[in-house]
Amino acid sequence: MTDLPLTGRARPDRKPHTLAEWRALGGYAAVERARAMAPSEVIDWVEAANLNGRGGAGFPAGRKWRFMPERGTTPGNGPNYLIVNGDEMEPGAFKDRFLLEALPHQLLEGALIAAHATHCDEAIVLIRDEYRPGIAAVERAIDEARNAGLLGGLHIRVHPSAGRYIVGEETALITALEGHRAVPRKRPPFPAQSGLWGRPTTVNNVETISLVPHVLTLGPQRFRALSRTEEGGTKLYGVSGRVKRPGLFEAPMGTTARELIERAGGISGDGTLRAFQPGGGASRFLGPDHLDTPLDFGHLARAGAMFGTGMLIVLDGSACPVGLIARHMRFYARESCGWCTPCREGLPLAAKILHAFEAGTARPEDLDLLHMTAAEAGPRGRSFCDLMGGAMAPLASGLEMFAAEFAAHLAGGCPHDKTHLSGGCPHGGTA
């Protein structure tokens, strides 16, 4: 169980534990240990464990927590807030769903420890509304812990979210919780200075918070040693697409794509790996030459990619990458908040052009326009938030890696359709 701290206590049927069952497995011992420590000491442990945020950006959790002011040191009245983000909308991502449904008391333990460390009086667990079993499991865990007197002075509740991809951006999430359109905010001020309702706020992902109790239980050095790299702990990796057994796998940080694909039964389809996205839909494509790259934030950044959610999307040799990229672009065009011009205008335009490629009606100038869009709008910092940069990652890398497929579609036929009919790409949604 030590080697699999996140999932080692989960039931095979994913049924959540009762409070009594969880405590019999050692549950809430980490909370007791944390409450015997000063908040700053808890943060010291989390920093020493090298726990990076698992929400996509990889920002060190302890460093983020240290930005939070102590109670009574900020102007005005009101609580400090902890927000746990369970609005899992990244294409290819399904890790938080498992943790919410199968291990809600683990998440609640992490929230109690994080709230203690960050001087928070209120905590909100935001969960996308489609995750109904997860919502029910977390609400039941909160009620059980409250009735047992385990919450201390923390007010905690679940907020079912309407669900938008942009809510993965922490300031857009805060704006949505306040009842407004989910639009990112200009920073500074940062949420730790002025977040929900203008009060100091910390936002962490479900997986990040679920790992926190294990830092306290194992100690920072043992937790850090679970990883193969400097980034501490284990990771809940996902593998989907053209593999024989798609699923979730807890493994050390730094596990390779080769190992994960083997655990997923190997490549399906024609049995050959063409490419993979290492961090979900908003990451660039990597080829077979990166199968042995350690999958963590640092190594993938040096490879020119993003680790993101750590959810691999795999393409075999028979899958049409143009169709997959078009599907991604339709999603991001729909999910843009529309606040800035590159997203509002650029993503629907790219989606429209890619649809023409799928339909076999694209023109040579359309390919030039896709290249220009990826080059001009793709670099980080060209839009108000990082949604555009993430959306452009599969397009920019796909235009480079799959030039032959784009050329074939431009000529009116998908190379993965043996009839090469001009009626469209039959493989557009299958990767």
Q: Do residues 217 and 248 both lie within one domain?
A: no
Q: Please report the pLDDT score of residue 416 as a whole number.
A: 76
| Number of independent structural domains in the chain | 3
For residue 368, is it within any domain?
yes
Q: What is the pLDDT confidence band of residue 115, given thresholds at 50, 70 and 90? A: very high
Query: Which of 273, 291, 316 represents a domain boundary (last residue)?
Result: 316
Do 389 and 252 have their domain in common?
Answer: no
Within-domain flag for 421: no
Three-state SS string over 111-144 comes to HHHHHHHCCCCEEEEEEECCCHHHHHHHHHHHHH
- In CATH, what number is assigned to the domain containing residue 185? 3.40.50.11540
Q: Domain containing 144: what range?
A: 19-225
Closest CA to 168 of 157, 154, 189, 182: 182
Q: Are residues 260 and 220 in the same domain?
A: no
Q: Is 161 helix (H, G, I), strand (E, B) or coil?
A: strand
Q: CA-to-CA distance for 248 and 88, rounded, in angstroms?
A: 15
pLDDT class of 76 with cuts at 50, 70, 90: confident
pLDDT for 345-356, tens place per residue? 999 999 999 999
The b-or-e profile of 190-226 (16+ CB within 10 A means b, else e) is ebbbbbbeebbbbbbbbbbbbbbbbbbbbebeebbeb
Burial class (CB in 10 A: 0-12, 13-18, 19+), 291: middle
Instruction: Answer yes or no: do 213 and 305 share one domain.
Output: no
Output the pLDDT for position 426: 47
Cα separation, 305 vs 307, whole angstroms: 7
Question: Does some domain include residue 149?
Answer: yes
Query: Is the peptide bond prior to 188 cis by the omega test (within 30 degrees of 0)?
Result: yes
Output the pLDDT for position 420.
Answer: 31
Is 302 in the same domain as 325?
A: no
Task: Give a yes or no: residue 417 inside a domain.
Answer: no
Integer-rounded Cα radius of gyration of the chain: 22
- Is position 1 within any domain? no
Q: Residue 16's closest CA among 131, 136, 129?
A: 136
Residue 14 forms part of a structural domain: no
Q: Across residues 266-277, what is the average pLDDT?
A: 96
Domain boundary among 290, 316, 342: 316
- CATH number of 328's domain: 1.20.1440.230
Q: Which of 316, 332, 348 is the last residue of a domain?
A: 316
Report pLDDT for 244.
98
pLDDT, tens digit, 9 for 90 and up, residues 126-179? 999 999 999 999 999 999 999 999 999 999 999 999 878 999 899 999 999 999
- Residue 390 forms part of a structural domain: yes
The pLDDT score that the predictor gives to residue 417 is 56
* Band (430; pLDDT cuts 50, 70, 90): very low
Q: Which two tokens stand for residue 167?
A: 């809510």
pTM assigned to the model: 0.94
Based on the fold, state whether residues 312 and 361 are members of the same structural domain: no
- Of the listed ranges 49-58, 94-103, 321-330, 374-383, the one predicted with least confidence: 374-383
So what's the pLDDT on residue 341? 87
Indicate whether 389 belongs to any domain.
yes
The pLDDT value given to residue 98: 97
Across 411-419, average pLDDT: 68
